Structure 1
Amino acid sequence: MGYSRFDQAMQGRAAWNAGKNVGTKRPLTQKQNWAIRFHLDREGRLRDKALFDLAIDRKLRGCDLVKIKIGDIVAGSDVRTRAIVIQLKTNRPVQFELTADVRATLIAWLERRGGTASDYLFPSRIDHANHMSTRQYARLVDEWVTAIGLRKAEYGTHSFRRTKAAKIYRATSNIRAIQILLGHTKIENTVRYLGVDVEDALLLAERTEI
Protein backbone atom coordinates (compact mmCIF):
# COMPACT_ATOMS: atom_id res chain seq x y z
CA MET A 1 0.00 0.00 0.00
CA GLY A 2 1.40 3.37 -0.99
CA TYR A 3 1.10 6.77 0.65
CA SER A 4 -1.33 9.38 -0.62
CA ARG A 5 0.23 12.39 -2.27
CA PHE A 6 -2.26 14.45 -0.23
CA ASP A 7 -0.92 13.15 3.10
CA GLN A 8 0.71 16.18 4.70
CA ALA A 9 2.90 13.94 6.89
CA MET A 10 4.56 12.55 3.79
CA GLN A 11 5.25 15.85 2.06
CA GLY A 12 8.96 16.31 1.41
CA ARG A 13 9.85 12.80 2.60
CA ALA A 14 11.98 10.82 0.18
CA ALA A 15 10.77 7.40 -0.94
CA TRP A 16 12.37 4.49 0.93
CA ASN A 17 14.05 3.29 -2.27
CA ALA A 18 15.11 6.69 -3.61
CA GLY A 19 18.56 6.40 -5.14
CA LYS A 20 18.84 2.71 -4.24
CA ASN A 21 19.30 -0.27 -6.48
CA VAL A 22 16.47 -2.57 -5.37
CA GLY A 23 16.64 -5.04 -8.24
CA THR A 24 18.12 -8.52 -8.19
CA LYS A 25 21.50 -8.60 -6.50
CA ARG A 26 24.41 -10.22 -8.30
CA PRO A 27 25.81 -13.55 -7.14
CA LEU A 28 29.49 -13.55 -6.24
CA THR A 29 32.10 -15.13 -8.49
CA GLN A 30 34.55 -17.71 -7.17
CA LYS A 31 37.30 -15.09 -7.23
CA GLN A 32 35.17 -12.69 -5.20
CA ASN A 33 34.34 -15.44 -2.70
CA TRP A 34 37.99 -16.11 -2.04
CA ALA A 35 38.78 -12.38 -1.90
CA ILE A 36 36.26 -11.91 0.93
CA ARG A 37 37.55 -15.00 2.76
CA PHE A 38 41.14 -13.72 2.46
CA HIS A 39 40.08 -10.30 3.77
CA LEU A 40 38.30 -11.77 6.79
CA ASP A 41 41.22 -14.12 7.54
CA ARG A 42 43.70 -11.26 7.34
CA GLU A 43 41.58 -9.14 9.68
CA GLY A 44 41.17 -12.03 12.14
CA ARG A 45 37.37 -11.79 11.95
CA LEU A 46 36.54 -15.39 12.78
CA ARG A 47 32.86 -14.79 13.50
CA ASP A 48 32.42 -12.98 10.20
CA LYS A 49 34.29 -15.73 8.35
CA ALA A 50 31.98 -18.36 9.85
CA LEU A 51 28.93 -16.26 9.00
CA PHE A 52 30.11 -15.68 5.43
CA ASP A 53 30.99 -19.34 4.82
CA LEU A 54 27.66 -20.48 6.24
CA ALA A 55 25.74 -17.93 4.16
CA ILE A 56 27.35 -19.17 0.95
CA ASP A 57 26.99 -22.86 1.79
CA ARG A 58 23.47 -22.84 3.20
CA LYS A 59 21.78 -20.68 0.56
CA LEU A 60 19.31 -19.37 3.17
CA ARG A 61 17.46 -16.10 3.42
CA GLY A 62 19.05 -13.69 5.87
CA CYS A 63 16.12 -13.98 8.30
CA ASP A 64 16.68 -17.74 8.53
CA LEU A 65 20.47 -17.53 8.64
CA VAL A 66 20.68 -15.25 11.68
CA LYS A 67 18.29 -17.45 13.68
CA ILE A 68 20.36 -20.61 13.43
CA LYS A 69 21.05 -22.16 16.81
CA ILE A 70 24.12 -24.16 17.75
CA GLY A 71 21.97 -27.27 18.08
CA ASP A 72 20.82 -26.90 14.46
CA ILE A 73 24.28 -27.65 13.12
CA VAL A 74 25.98 -29.64 15.89
CA ALA A 75 25.60 -33.33 16.69
CA GLY A 76 27.58 -34.31 19.77
CA SER A 77 31.01 -32.78 19.40
CA ASP A 78 30.89 -32.56 15.60
CA VAL A 79 29.35 -30.19 13.08
CA ARG A 80 26.78 -31.97 10.95
CA THR A 81 27.38 -32.63 7.26
CA ARG A 82 23.67 -31.99 6.60
CA ALA A 83 20.99 -30.15 8.53
CA ILE A 84 17.41 -28.92 8.25
CA VAL A 85 15.79 -25.62 9.19
CA ILE A 86 12.19 -24.39 8.98
CA GLN A 87 11.99 -21.33 6.74
CA LEU A 88 10.38 -18.27 8.28
CA LYS A 89 8.79 -17.13 5.00
CA THR A 90 7.18 -20.42 3.99
CA ASN A 91 7.12 -22.36 7.27
CA ARG A 92 8.50 -25.28 5.27
CA PRO A 93 11.67 -27.28 5.97
CA VAL A 94 14.72 -26.98 3.76
CA GLN A 95 17.74 -29.25 3.93
CA PHE A 96 21.27 -28.09 3.25
CA GLU A 97 24.80 -29.43 3.20
CA LEU A 98 27.86 -28.24 5.12
CA THR A 99 31.11 -28.80 3.27
CA ALA A 100 34.39 -29.70 4.97
CA ASP A 101 35.94 -26.21 4.80
CA VAL A 102 32.81 -24.62 6.24
CA ARG A 103 32.65 -27.17 9.06
CA ALA A 104 36.27 -26.39 9.95
CA THR A 105 35.50 -22.66 10.18
CA LEU A 106 32.40 -23.33 12.27
CA ILE A 107 34.33 -25.56 14.69
CA ALA A 108 36.90 -22.79 15.18
CA TRP A 109 34.14 -20.25 15.79
CA LEU A 110 32.28 -22.52 18.23
CA GLU A 111 35.46 -23.11 20.22
CA ARG A 112 35.78 -19.36 20.67
CA ARG A 113 32.09 -18.62 21.07
CA GLY A 114 31.17 -21.38 23.54
CA GLY A 115 27.53 -21.76 24.47
CA THR A 116 24.93 -24.52 24.48
CA ALA A 117 22.74 -26.17 21.85
CA SER A 118 19.89 -23.76 22.59
CA ASP A 119 22.04 -20.64 22.05
CA TYR A 120 22.06 -18.74 18.78
CA LEU A 121 25.13 -19.37 16.65
CA PHE A 122 25.58 -15.66 15.96
CA PRO A 123 24.37 -13.66 18.99
CA SER A 124 23.31 -10.04 18.92
CA ARG A 125 26.01 -7.54 19.84
CA ILE A 126 23.48 -5.80 22.09
CA ASP A 127 21.66 -8.73 23.71
CA HIS A 128 23.76 -11.90 23.68
CA ALA A 129 20.69 -14.00 24.51
CA ASN A 130 19.16 -12.96 21.20
CA HIS A 131 20.32 -13.53 17.63
CA MET A 132 22.09 -11.11 15.30
CA SER A 133 19.58 -8.88 13.52
CA THR A 134 19.08 -9.00 9.77
CA ARG A 135 20.03 -5.31 9.71
CA GLN A 136 23.38 -6.07 11.32
CA TYR A 137 23.94 -8.92 8.89
CA ALA A 138 23.17 -6.60 5.96
CA ARG A 139 25.65 -4.03 7.30
CA LEU A 140 28.34 -6.70 7.50
CA VAL A 141 27.65 -7.74 3.92
CA ASP A 142 28.08 -4.11 2.82
CA GLU A 143 31.42 -4.00 4.65
CA TRP A 144 32.66 -7.25 3.09
CA VAL A 145 31.85 -6.43 -0.50
CA THR A 146 33.15 -2.87 -0.18
CA ALA A 147 36.41 -4.17 1.29
CA ILE A 148 37.20 -6.06 -1.93
CA GLY A 149 36.28 -3.16 -4.21
CA LEU A 150 32.68 -4.05 -5.13
CA ARG A 151 29.78 -1.59 -5.20
CA LYS A 152 27.47 -2.38 -2.29
CA ALA A 153 24.48 -1.16 -4.32
CA GLU A 154 24.96 -4.16 -6.61
CA TYR A 155 25.39 -6.81 -3.90
CA GLY A 156 23.48 -7.77 -0.78
CA THR A 157 22.47 -10.63 1.47
CA HIS A 158 20.63 -12.27 -1.43
CA SER A 159 23.89 -12.31 -3.37
CA PHE A 160 25.14 -14.91 -0.91
CA ARG A 161 21.91 -16.90 -1.16
CA ARG A 162 22.17 -16.92 -4.96
CA THR A 163 25.91 -17.57 -5.33
CA LYS A 164 26.12 -21.33 -4.92
CA ALA A 165 22.70 -21.87 -6.48
CA ALA A 166 23.75 -19.95 -9.60
CA LYS A 167 26.97 -21.94 -9.85
CA ILE A 168 25.11 -25.26 -9.56
CA TYR A 169 22.63 -24.12 -12.20
CA ARG A 170 25.40 -23.13 -14.62
CA ALA A 171 27.04 -26.52 -14.13
CA THR A 172 23.89 -28.67 -14.36
CA SER A 173 20.99 -26.61 -15.76
CA ASN A 174 18.85 -28.50 -13.23
CA ILE A 175 16.16 -26.03 -12.15
CA ARG A 176 14.33 -28.61 -10.03
CA ALA A 177 17.45 -29.28 -7.96
CA ILE A 178 17.91 -25.54 -7.35
CA GLN A 179 14.26 -25.24 -6.34
CA ILE A 180 14.79 -27.90 -3.66
CA LEU A 181 18.03 -26.36 -2.40
CA LEU A 182 16.51 -22.87 -2.12
CA GLY A 183 13.29 -24.15 -0.57
CA HIS A 184 11.04 -22.48 -3.14
CA THR A 185 7.44 -23.68 -3.22
CA LYS A 186 7.05 -22.97 -6.95
CA ILE A 187 9.56 -23.61 -9.70
CA GLU A 188 8.50 -20.32 -11.33
CA ASN A 189 10.03 -18.54 -8.33
CA THR A 190 13.32 -20.35 -8.91
CA VAL A 191 13.30 -19.38 -12.59
CA ARG A 192 12.82 -15.73 -11.71
CA TYR A 193 15.33 -15.89 -8.86
CA LEU A 194 18.09 -17.25 -11.07
CA GLY A 195 17.24 -14.85 -13.89
CA VAL A 196 16.71 -17.69 -16.32
CA ASP A 197 15.57 -16.27 -19.64
CA VAL A 198 14.83 -17.35 -23.20
CA GLU A 199 18.52 -17.35 -24.12
CA ASP A 200 19.29 -19.82 -21.31
CA ALA A 201 16.47 -22.07 -22.48
CA LEU A 202 17.64 -22.01 -26.10
CA LEU A 203 21.25 -22.76 -25.15
CA LEU A 204 20.09 -25.72 -23.06
CA ALA A 205 17.98 -27.01 -25.96
CA GLU A 206 20.89 -26.65 -28.39
CA ARG A 207 23.13 -28.75 -26.17
CA THR A 208 20.56 -31.53 -25.92
CA GLU A 209 20.43 -34.20 -28.61
CA ILE A 210 17.74 -36.88 -28.90
Structure 2
Amino acid sequence: MNTEIINTIKSKMDDVLNTSQLNKLESVLKEVFNENTSPKDSLQNKKNLIKQFINSKKIEGCSKRTEEYYFRTLTFFEKNINSDINSVTTAEIRDYLLNYQKINNCTNVTLNTVRRILSSFYKWLEDEDFIIKSPMKRIHRIKSPVIIKPAFTEEQIENIRKTASDNDRNLAIVDFLLSSGIRVSELVRLNRSSINLNTRTYIVFGKGAKQREIYFDVRTKIELENYLKSRKDKNNALFVTERKKSKNGTYGRLKINSIEKLIRDMGIKTEIQNVHPHRFRRTMATRAIDKGMPIEQVQVLLGHTKIDTTLRYANVQQVNVKYSHQKFIC
Protein backbone atom coordinates (compact mmCIF):
# COMPACT_ATOMS: atom_id res chain seq x y z
CA MET A 1 0.00 0.00 0.00
CA ASN A 2 2.82 2.41 0.90
CA THR A 3 4.47 1.84 -2.48
CA GLU A 4 1.24 2.73 -4.29
CA ILE A 5 0.90 5.94 -2.26
CA ILE A 6 4.51 6.92 -2.98
CA ASN A 7 4.09 6.28 -6.71
CA THR A 8 0.86 8.31 -6.77
CA ILE A 9 2.55 11.28 -5.07
CA LYS A 10 5.53 11.11 -7.43
CA SER A 11 3.23 10.93 -10.45
CA LYS A 12 1.36 14.05 -9.36
CA MET A 13 4.63 15.93 -8.78
CA ASP A 14 6.18 14.80 -12.06
CA ASP A 15 5.40 18.04 -13.91
CA VAL A 16 6.60 20.24 -11.05
CA LEU A 17 9.89 18.67 -9.99
CA ASN A 18 12.96 17.70 -12.01
CA THR A 19 14.50 14.23 -11.94
CA SER A 20 16.86 14.95 -9.04
CA GLN A 21 14.07 16.47 -6.94
CA LEU A 22 11.73 13.57 -7.70
CA ASN A 23 14.35 11.08 -6.58
CA LYS A 24 14.90 13.04 -3.41
CA LEU A 25 11.15 13.12 -2.80
CA GLU A 26 10.98 9.37 -3.27
CA SER A 27 13.79 8.86 -0.76
CA VAL A 28 12.07 11.05 1.83
CA LEU A 29 8.70 9.37 1.33
CA LYS A 30 10.20 5.93 1.77
CA GLU A 31 11.87 7.08 4.99
CA VAL A 32 8.60 8.56 6.26
CA PHE A 33 6.56 5.47 5.40
CA ASN A 34 9.32 3.26 6.83
CA GLU A 35 9.62 0.99 3.78
CA ASN A 36 10.91 -2.52 4.38
CA THR A 37 14.27 -1.81 2.77
CA SER A 38 16.81 -0.80 5.40
CA PRO A 39 19.12 2.19 4.79
CA LYS A 40 22.07 -0.18 4.57
CA ASP A 41 20.35 -2.33 1.95
CA SER A 42 19.26 0.74 0.00
CA LEU A 43 22.81 2.09 -0.09
CA GLN A 44 24.16 -1.28 -1.22
CA ASN A 45 21.47 -1.45 -3.90
CA LYS A 46 22.54 1.92 -5.30
CA LYS A 47 26.18 0.88 -5.41
CA ASN A 48 25.32 -2.22 -7.40
CA LEU A 49 23.13 -0.53 -10.00
CA ILE A 50 25.74 -0.81 -12.76
CA LYS A 51 26.44 -4.44 -11.89
CA GLN A 52 22.72 -5.24 -11.92
CA PHE A 53 22.37 -3.55 -15.30
CA ILE A 54 25.28 -5.53 -16.77
CA ASN A 55 23.75 -8.74 -15.42
CA SER A 56 20.51 -7.88 -17.22
CA LYS A 57 22.50 -7.47 -20.43
CA LYS A 58 24.07 -10.89 -19.90
CA ILE A 59 20.61 -12.42 -19.64
CA GLU A 60 19.64 -10.65 -22.90
CA GLY A 61 22.55 -12.38 -24.64
CA CYS A 62 25.04 -9.52 -25.04
CA SER A 63 28.56 -10.56 -25.97
CA LYS A 64 31.40 -10.44 -23.45
CA ARG A 65 33.03 -7.55 -25.28
CA THR A 66 29.78 -5.54 -25.23
CA GLU A 67 29.36 -6.18 -21.49
CA GLU A 68 32.92 -5.00 -20.83
CA TYR A 69 32.44 -1.87 -22.96
CA TYR A 70 29.18 -1.02 -21.18
CA PHE A 71 30.84 -1.52 -17.80
CA ARG A 72 33.87 0.67 -18.63
CA THR A 73 31.65 3.43 -20.03
CA LEU A 74 29.29 3.49 -17.05
CA THR A 75 31.95 3.26 -14.34
CA PHE A 76 33.88 6.10 -16.00
CA PHE A 77 30.65 8.11 -16.09
CA GLU A 78 29.95 7.40 -12.41
CA LYS A 79 33.45 8.55 -11.39
CA ASN A 80 33.20 11.81 -13.30
CA ILE A 81 29.83 13.16 -12.15
CA ASN A 82 29.11 14.97 -8.91
CA SER A 83 25.67 13.48 -8.22
CA ASP A 84 24.70 9.91 -7.41
CA ILE A 85 24.29 7.95 -10.59
CA ASN A 86 20.58 7.45 -9.95
CA SER A 87 19.85 11.12 -9.22
CA VAL A 88 21.81 12.85 -11.98
CA THR A 89 19.97 15.52 -14.02
CA THR A 90 19.67 16.01 -17.76
CA ALA A 91 21.79 19.16 -17.55
CA GLU A 92 24.57 17.26 -15.76
CA ILE A 93 24.61 14.58 -18.44
CA ARG A 94 24.78 17.18 -21.21
CA ASP A 95 27.74 18.81 -19.46
CA TYR A 96 29.36 15.41 -19.07
CA LEU A 97 29.00 14.58 -22.78
CA LEU A 98 30.43 17.96 -23.81
CA ASN A 99 33.40 17.54 -21.47
CA TYR A 100 33.88 13.92 -22.57
CA GLN A 101 34.23 14.95 -26.21
CA LYS A 102 36.52 17.85 -25.32
CA ILE A 103 38.84 15.79 -23.11
CA ASN A 104 38.96 12.69 -25.32
CA ASN A 105 38.86 14.57 -28.64
CA CYS A 106 36.44 11.95 -29.96
CA THR A 107 34.13 12.06 -32.96
CA ASN A 108 30.36 12.47 -32.81
CA VAL A 109 30.06 8.77 -33.66
CA THR A 110 31.94 7.80 -30.49
CA LEU A 111 30.05 10.36 -28.42
CA ASN A 112 26.73 9.04 -29.69
CA THR A 113 27.78 5.54 -28.65
CA VAL A 114 28.36 6.83 -25.11
CA ARG A 115 24.96 8.55 -25.25
CA ARG A 116 23.26 5.31 -26.35
CA ILE A 117 24.83 3.38 -23.47
CA LEU A 118 23.71 6.00 -20.95
CA SER A 119 20.24 6.03 -22.51
CA SER A 120 20.00 2.23 -22.25
CA PHE A 121 21.16 2.31 -18.63
CA TYR A 122 18.69 5.00 -17.53
CA LYS A 123 15.81 3.38 -19.38
CA TRP A 124 16.60 0.21 -17.43
CA LEU A 125 16.65 2.20 -14.16
CA GLU A 126 13.25 3.63 -15.06
CA ASP A 127 11.81 0.24 -16.04
CA GLU A 128 13.07 -1.27 -12.79
CA ASP A 129 11.57 1.60 -10.74
CA PHE A 130 14.92 2.83 -9.43
CA ILE A 131 14.08 6.27 -10.85
CA ILE A 132 10.85 7.99 -11.89
CA LYS A 133 11.91 9.37 -15.26
CA SER A 134 15.04 8.87 -17.32
CA PRO A 135 17.13 12.07 -17.58
CA MET A 136 18.16 10.87 -21.08
CA LYS A 137 14.70 11.38 -22.60
CA ARG A 138 15.51 14.94 -23.63
CA ILE A 139 18.98 14.09 -24.94
CA HIS A 140 18.54 13.09 -28.56
CA ARG A 141 20.73 11.26 -31.04
CA ILE A 142 23.97 13.07 -31.85
CA LYS A 143 24.19 13.60 -35.59
CA SER A 144 27.36 12.70 -37.45
CA PRO A 145 28.34 12.48 -41.11
CA VAL A 146 27.56 9.11 -42.71
CA ILE A 147 30.92 7.96 -44.05
CA ILE A 148 31.09 4.65 -45.90
CA LYS A 149 34.46 3.12 -45.15
CA PRO A 150 36.26 1.69 -48.17
CA ALA A 151 36.36 -2.01 -48.98
CA PHE A 152 39.51 -3.76 -50.17
CA THR A 153 40.36 -3.49 -53.86
CA GLU A 154 41.07 -6.65 -55.85
CA GLU A 155 44.77 -5.78 -55.91
CA GLN A 156 44.86 -5.30 -52.13
CA ILE A 157 43.13 -8.65 -51.59
CA GLU A 158 45.65 -10.48 -53.75
CA ASN A 159 48.57 -8.79 -51.97
CA ILE A 160 47.16 -9.82 -48.57
CA ARG A 161 46.61 -13.40 -49.79
CA LYS A 162 50.17 -13.50 -51.12
CA THR A 163 51.48 -12.44 -47.70
CA ALA A 164 49.45 -15.20 -46.02
CA SER A 165 50.21 -17.88 -48.63
CA ASP A 166 53.18 -19.35 -46.73
CA ASN A 167 50.90 -20.39 -43.84
CA ASP A 168 47.91 -22.70 -44.37
CA ARG A 169 46.07 -21.43 -41.29
CA ASN A 170 46.52 -17.74 -42.08
CA LEU A 171 45.46 -18.15 -45.71
CA ALA A 172 42.38 -20.10 -44.62
CA ILE A 173 41.45 -17.31 -42.19
CA VAL A 174 41.79 -14.62 -44.89
CA ASP A 175 39.71 -16.54 -47.44
CA PHE A 176 37.15 -17.49 -44.78
CA LEU A 177 36.66 -13.87 -43.71
CA LEU A 178 36.47 -12.67 -47.29
CA SER A 179 34.02 -15.23 -48.69
CA SER A 180 31.68 -15.54 -45.69
CA GLY A 181 31.53 -12.03 -44.20
CA ILE A 182 31.69 -13.54 -40.73
CA ARG A 183 32.37 -11.42 -37.64
CA VAL A 184 35.70 -12.09 -35.94
CA SER A 185 33.82 -12.77 -32.68
CA GLU A 186 31.89 -15.50 -34.52
CA LEU A 187 34.99 -16.86 -36.23
CA VAL A 188 36.82 -17.63 -32.99
CA ARG A 189 33.87 -19.66 -31.70
CA LEU A 190 33.67 -21.97 -34.72
CA ASN A 191 34.38 -25.67 -34.25
CA ARG A 192 35.48 -28.29 -36.73
CA SER A 193 32.28 -30.21 -36.07
CA SER A 194 30.15 -27.22 -37.16
CA ILE A 195 31.73 -26.99 -40.62
CA ASN A 196 30.25 -28.91 -43.54
CA LEU A 197 32.93 -28.95 -46.22
CA ASN A 198 30.73 -30.81 -48.70
CA THR A 199 27.99 -28.17 -48.77
CA ARG A 200 30.41 -25.35 -47.83
CA THR A 201 28.11 -24.18 -45.05
CA TYR A 202 28.18 -23.74 -41.28
CA ILE A 203 25.84 -22.60 -38.54
CA VAL A 204 26.90 -19.61 -36.49
CA PHE A 205 25.41 -17.89 -33.45
CA GLY A 206 25.80 -14.16 -33.93
CA LYS A 207 24.86 -11.12 -31.87
CA GLY A 208 21.99 -11.74 -29.50
CA ALA A 209 22.54 -15.50 -29.90
CA LYS A 210 20.76 -15.37 -33.28
CA GLN A 211 21.42 -18.46 -35.38
CA ARG A 212 22.07 -18.20 -39.11
CA GLU A 213 23.60 -20.27 -41.89
CA ILE A 214 26.73 -18.97 -43.59
CA TYR A 215 28.38 -20.03 -46.83
CA PHE A 216 31.91 -19.98 -48.21
CA ASP A 217 33.42 -20.46 -51.66
CA VAL A 218 35.38 -23.35 -53.23
CA ARG A 219 38.75 -21.67 -52.70
CA THR A 220 38.04 -21.35 -48.99
CA LYS A 221 37.03 -25.02 -48.86
CA ILE A 222 40.37 -26.04 -50.39
CA GLU A 223 42.33 -23.82 -47.98
CA LEU A 224 40.40 -25.23 -45.01
CA GLU A 225 41.05 -28.82 -46.14
CA ASN A 226 44.77 -28.11 -46.49
CA TYR A 227 44.88 -26.51 -43.05
CA LEU A 228 42.89 -29.23 -41.30
CA LYS A 229 45.06 -31.96 -42.87
CA SER A 230 48.12 -30.29 -41.37
CA ARG A 231 46.60 -30.33 -37.89
CA LYS A 232 47.85 -33.03 -35.51
CA ASP A 233 45.89 -31.93 -32.45
CA LYS A 234 42.44 -33.00 -31.24
CA ASN A 235 41.14 -29.55 -30.33
CA ASN A 236 37.65 -29.09 -31.79
CA ALA A 237 38.29 -25.39 -32.46
CA LEU A 238 38.46 -24.59 -36.17
CA PHE A 239 41.43 -22.25 -35.77
CA VAL A 240 44.06 -22.82 -33.11
CA THR A 241 47.35 -21.29 -32.01
CA GLU A 242 50.58 -22.41 -33.62
CA ARG A 243 52.30 -22.79 -30.28
CA LYS A 244 51.26 -25.23 -27.60
CA LYS A 245 50.07 -23.97 -24.25
CA SER A 246 52.66 -24.51 -21.55
CA LYS A 247 50.12 -25.76 -18.97
CA ASN A 248 48.71 -28.77 -20.76
CA GLY A 249 50.83 -29.01 -23.89
CA THR A 250 47.89 -28.63 -26.30
CA TYR A 251 47.06 -26.04 -28.92
CA GLY A 252 44.60 -23.38 -27.77
CA ARG A 253 41.67 -21.79 -29.57
CA LEU A 254 42.63 -18.59 -31.35
CA LYS A 255 41.25 -15.49 -29.62
CA ILE A 256 39.92 -12.28 -31.11
CA ASN A 257 42.98 -10.19 -30.30
CA SER A 258 45.26 -12.82 -31.86
CA ILE A 259 43.38 -12.74 -35.16
CA GLU A 260 43.24 -8.94 -35.10
CA LYS A 261 47.02 -8.80 -34.63
CA LEU A 262 47.53 -11.42 -37.32
CA ILE A 263 45.48 -9.42 -39.85
CA ARG A 264 47.04 -6.13 -38.79
CA ASP A 265 50.56 -7.55 -39.34
CA MET A 266 49.54 -8.57 -42.87
CA GLY A 267 48.57 -4.97 -43.52
CA ILE A 268 51.96 -3.76 -42.32
CA LYS A 269 53.79 -6.24 -44.58
CA THR A 270 51.71 -5.27 -47.62
CA GLU A 271 51.82 -1.54 -46.74
CA ILE A 272 48.02 -1.33 -46.83
CA GLN A 273 46.38 0.95 -44.28
CA ASN A 274 43.48 -0.02 -42.00
CA VAL A 275 43.69 -3.78 -42.44
CA HIS A 276 41.44 -5.43 -39.87
CA PRO A 277 38.97 -8.37 -39.82
CA HIS A 278 35.85 -6.18 -40.10
CA ARG A 279 37.05 -4.74 -43.40
CA PHE A 280 36.83 -8.21 -44.98
CA ARG A 281 33.18 -8.32 -43.89
CA ARG A 282 32.53 -4.95 -45.51
CA THR A 283 34.34 -6.09 -48.67
CA MET A 284 32.16 -9.18 -48.96
CA ALA A 285 29.00 -7.07 -48.68
CA THR A 286 30.26 -4.58 -51.26
CA ARG A 287 31.20 -7.34 -53.70
CA ALA A 288 27.84 -9.06 -53.30
CA ILE A 289 25.80 -5.91 -53.97
CA ASP A 290 27.99 -4.88 -56.89
CA LYS A 291 27.39 -8.27 -58.49
CA GLY A 292 23.64 -7.91 -58.14
CA MET A 293 22.74 -9.69 -54.91
CA PRO A 294 19.58 -8.12 -53.42
CA ILE A 295 20.30 -6.04 -50.34
CA GLU A 296 17.81 -8.10 -48.31
CA GLN A 297 19.85 -11.26 -48.95
CA VAL A 298 23.09 -9.50 -48.00
CA GLN A 299 21.35 -8.45 -44.79
CA VAL A 300 20.58 -12.10 -44.00
CA LEU A 301 24.16 -13.18 -44.76
CA LEU A 302 25.59 -10.55 -42.43
CA GLY A 303 23.04 -11.20 -39.69
CA HIS A 304 21.85 -7.60 -39.49
CA THR A 305 18.55 -6.83 -37.79
CA LYS A 306 18.08 -3.56 -39.69
CA ILE A 307 18.73 -3.06 -43.38
CA ASP A 308 20.13 0.42 -42.66
CA THR A 309 23.11 -1.26 -41.03
CA THR A 310 23.73 -3.31 -44.17
CA LEU A 311 23.57 -0.20 -46.34
CA ARG A 312 26.31 1.41 -44.25
CA TYR A 313 28.55 -1.60 -44.93
CA ALA A 314 28.20 -1.63 -48.68
CA ASN A 315 30.39 0.73 -50.67
CA VAL A 316 28.71 0.40 -54.07
CA GLN A 317 31.13 1.25 -56.87
CA GLN A 318 30.31 4.51 -58.65
CA VAL A 319 30.94 2.92 -62.05
CA ASN A 320 28.08 0.47 -61.37
CA VAL A 321 25.79 3.33 -60.39
CA LYS A 322 26.62 5.05 -63.70
CA TYR A 323 25.97 1.82 -65.63
CA SER A 324 22.62 1.30 -63.90
CA HIS A 325 21.62 4.88 -64.60
CA GLN A 326 22.37 4.43 -68.30
CA LYS A 327 20.50 1.12 -68.32
CA PHE A 328 17.37 2.11 -66.45
CA ILE A 329 17.10 5.89 -66.82
CA CYS A 330 18.68 6.95 -70.10
- Counting aligned pairs with the same residue, the percent is 22
Q: Which runs of 5+ in 2 are unaligned?
A: 1-72, 81-102, 108-146
Question: Any conservation in 1 of the 2:188–2:253 contact (CA below 8 Å)?
Answer: yes
> Hey, which of these two has a bigger chunk of helix by percent?
2
Q: Which runs of 5+ in 1 are unaligned?
A: 8-13
Q: TM-score by structure 1 length? A: 0.75
- 1:45/1:129 Cα in 2 relative to 1: closer, same or farther (>3 Å)? closer
Q: How many angstroms does 1:164 deviate by?
A: 1.6
- Residues 33-61 of structure 1 show CA distances to partners (whole Å, capped at 9, x for unaligned) of 111112222xx211111111111111111
Partner of 1:110: 228
Aligned to 2:151, the other structure's residue is in SS state coil
The answer to whether 1:121 aligns with 2:238 is yes
The answer to whether 1:168 aligns with 2:292 is no
- 1:172/1:114 Cα in 2 relative to 1: closer, same or farther (>3 Å)? same
Partner of 2:161: 37
Higher Cα radius of gyration: 2
- 1:79/1:136 Cα in 2 relative to 1: closer, same or farther (>3 Å)? farther
Residue identity matched to 2:204: V
Question: Any conservation in 2 of the 1:66–1:133 contact (CA below 8 Å)?
Answer: yes
Question: Any conservation in 1 of the 2:149–2:313 contact (CA below 8 Å)?
Answer: no
CA distance in 2, matches of 1:201, 1:100: 29
CA distance in 1, matches of 2:193, 2:311: 33
Partner of 1:11: none
Question: Any conservation in 1 of the 2:266–2:275 contact (CA below 8 Å)?
Answer: no
Q: How many angstroms does 1:121 deviate by?
A: 1.1
Residue identity matched to 1:26: P
Residue identity matched to 2:266: W
Partner of 1:193: 313
Question: Any conservation in 2 of the 1:68–1:121 contact (CA below 8 Å)?
Answer: yes
Correspondent of 1:141 among 263, 268, 271:
263
Give the stretch that moved more between structures: 128-137 or 158-167: 128-137
Residue identity matched to 1:155: V
- 1:173/1:206 Cα in 2 relative to 1: closer, same or farther (>3 Å)? farther
- 1:141/1:126 Cα in 2 relative to 1: closer, same or farther (>3 Å)? same
- Residues 165-187 of structure 1 show CA distances to partners (whole Å, capped at 9, x for unaligned) of 11111121621121011111111
Question: Any conservation in 1 of the 2:179–2:216 contact (CA below 8 Å)?
Answer: yes
Q: How many angstroms does 1:30 deviate by?
A: 1.5
- 1:139/1:171 Cα in 2 relative to 1: closer, same or farther (>3 Å)? same
Aligned to 2:298, the other structure's residue is in SS state helix
- 1:48/1:79 Cα in 2 relative to 1: closer, same or farther (>3 Å)? farther
Matches within 5 A, 1:1-210: 1=73, 3=76, 7=80, 15=104, 25-41=149-165, 44-74=166-196, 78-87=197-206, 89-116=207-234, 119-124=236-241, 125=243, 127=245, 128=250, 130-151=252-273, 154-172=274-292, 174-194=294-314, 207-208=327-328
CA distance in 1, matches of 2:313, 2:261: 23
Question: Any conservation in 1 of the 2:283–2:314 contact (CA below 8 Å)?
Answer: no
Q: How many angstroms does 1:96 deviate by?
A: 2.0
CA distance in 1, matches of 2:218, 2:105: 41
CA distance in 2, matches of 1:55, 1:24: 19
Question: Any conservation in 1 of the 2:151–2:315 contact (CA below 8 Å)?
Answer: no
CA distance in 2, matches of 1:16, 1:111: 49
CA distance in 1, matches of 2:291, 2:211: 25
CA distance in 2, matches of 1:60, 1:26: 18
Q: How many angstroms does 1:16 deviate by?
A: 10
What is the RMSD computed on CA atoms of the aligned residues?
A: 3.5
